[in-house]
Amino acid sequence: MLNQIYEEIKGDTGSFVNLYGLAKTVGMNVRHVDRLLLMITNNDLPSVESRYEGLRKEAATLEFDKEISARVSK
């Protein structure tokens, strides 16, 4: 199973090591991480990713609007 995971992530284990370190730092175990991921994604990761992208674009637009407003008011 570990070999399959290694093949899927193409040897980029850094993200998993970081996740493990973060979880350990806050006292989470595998069960906690599983429950949290399921709770956040509600078993629908694509919709969470889509929502994230939408919010990221909205934040960029708001930041741009803020910069324009700051220039106009000078």
pLDDT of residue 74: 72
Residue linked to tokens 């992208």: 53
Taking alpha carbons only, the member of 27, 32, 30 closest to residue 16 is 30
Average of per-residue pLDDT values in the chain: 89
Q: What is the pTM of this model?
A: 0.51
pLDDT at position 60 is 96
Stretches in the chain below the pLDDT threshold 70 = none
Number of domains in the chain: 1
Host domain of residue 68: 2-72
- What pLDDT, on a 0 to 100 scale, did the predictor assign at position 38? 87
